[in-house]
Amino acid sequence: MSRPRFQLYIDGAFVDAAASFESLDPSTEKTWADMPAASEEDVDRAVKAAHRAFLDPAWASLTASQRGRLLVKLGDLVAQHAGRLAELETRDTGKIIRETKAQIGYVAEYYRYFGGLADKVEGAHLPIDKAEMEVYLRREPIGVVAAIVPWNSQLFLSAVKLGPALAAGCTVVLKASEEGPAPLLEFARLVHEAGFPEGVVNIITGFGEPAGRALTSHPLVARVAFTGGPATARHIVRNTAENLAHTTLELGGKSPVLVFGDADLESAANAVVAGIFAASGQSCVAGSRLYVERPAQERLLSILKQKAAAIRIGDPQDASTEMGPLATRQQRDRIEKVLAASLEAGAELVCGGKRPAGRNEGWFFEPTIVRARDNAVACVSEELFGPVLSVVAFDTEAEAIGLANDTRYGLASGVFTASLTRAHRLIRSLRAGIVWVNTYRAVSPIVPFGGYGLSGLGREGGRESVLDYTRTKSVWIRTSDDPIPDPFVMR
């Protein structure tokens, strides 16, 4: 039986790339499909197609309401084909099927939400200080958007870029990660079926060099929306020095969760487990740093250890599996290296810390809990992007805030307490783009997200994100019928 072979989607057609590469199933380490590797020429064709479509009346002359209806139709198609997309994402990334199905089903709501916002983008009338002038502002689409997403939660991370960009009237070249691009290359079929004009959405994959560099530095790209790591983001910032593209960067984090002694510890433990062991810890908002008020530490650790031990590790396509493999061998190798250094530095292994027994194939790693003295331990300070929870005790609220904010990152945070006044103090004090109180990992298309520090620049999601894909045009209208005076005649 021949293995699947995917193609690029450029200018309304499915085309082969200049080269291809093998994609491995993270649960078996075996090749399962061939993926296209876009060349610099492929990228150039995609960007030029998007630019041509941006100017073409087939797209440019659509009303905002018509654009919105296309987005709603795309959302309906995502909901209809969520099962197929989920199977591909699970196969290509190792994320368990129960998570991919649930998440992709909800992604449909993002396209419906942004479809509804398409005709809500408004300009403004300005009360100008000149009597014979009327001045108003128009919001116009910024142009060609380069949207770049990682392999984890890629349908969701694409929706918060494609949705507002298309609602605003932009055209897009979407680059899927070379690690697990199958679901986005399949998603291109839904874009095609929805009826977007040729070139409005182009979907490619390939490596950072040359595809990523060529895309982010292309002279016809007006905006870059990127999700990934700080190292790649720095390359993108340097690349956009060539085209001066507007840039949004969502770069993950090392998110703290603070649990106080008055909290419901069973409820907090469930949230902590969901925050760090869901998606095998491969989430931008993973709550990987747990700070616990000292009197509650032993009790909470006991609950967490019991819950971690009960997690079912296995085939990600099996609906009963609760945690699958890591997406790449490199991730597992790095986690093992950092964990070993942390234990050597004095951290205490509470549970996990190794490859599961009997799993000779696949990049599996046990749910792991490590107790550390402070933030100086490597597993506490470094983003591991895996199922490793670092636990540090604190004695005072001020100490907890200091520990939580002692990081280069600042995407998300969680607070568990029965005290409303304490919760409000912490909301003000925590330097993070998201603060969840007595919950964790809740999301909605209505709510924007983004980070502080190395967690990035800008915000995605929510009503205002559509405005980020527009630029303002100032319009001056002289209302007097009198001739304009000769400027060289002195009066």
> What are the catalytic residues?
250
Q: How far apart are CA 463 and CA 475, in angstroms?
A: 24
Alpha helix segments (H runs only) across 278-377: 294-310, 329-344
- Going from the C-alpha of 201 to that of each of 8, 46, 228, 276, the distances in angstroms are 11, 9, 21, 34
In which residue are the tokens 């997690």 written? 311
Q: How far apart are CA 238 and CA 215, in angstroms?
A: 13
Segment holding 99, helix H or strand E? helix 97-117
Contacts of 110 (CB under 8 A, 6+ apart): 75, 156, 159, 160, 163, 445, 461
Q: How far apart are CA 64 and CA 269, in angstroms?
A: 46
CA 302 from centroid of its chain's CA atoms: 33
The secondary structure of residue 153, as a DSSP letter, is T
**Residue 288: strand, helix, or coil:** coil
The secondary structure of residue 2, as a DSSP letter, is P
**Residue 160: strand, helix, or coil:** helix
Q: Which two tokens stand for residue 152?
A: 């984890």
Q: How far apart are CA 157 and CA 410, in angstroms?
A: 18
| Surface-to-core class of residue 132, CB atoms within 10 Å of its CB (0-12 exposed, 13-18 middle, 19+ buried) | exposed
Beta strands at 171-176 and 201-205: parallel, antiparallel or unpaired: parallel
**Residue 226: strand, helix, or coil:** strand
Cβ proximity of 108 and 80 under 8 Å: no
Contacts of 244 (CB under 8 A, 6+ apart): none
Question: b/e for 286-301, b at 16 or more Cβ within 10 A?
Answer: bbbbbbbbeebbeebb
Beta strands at 8-10 and 13-15: parallel, antiparallel or unpaired: antiparallel
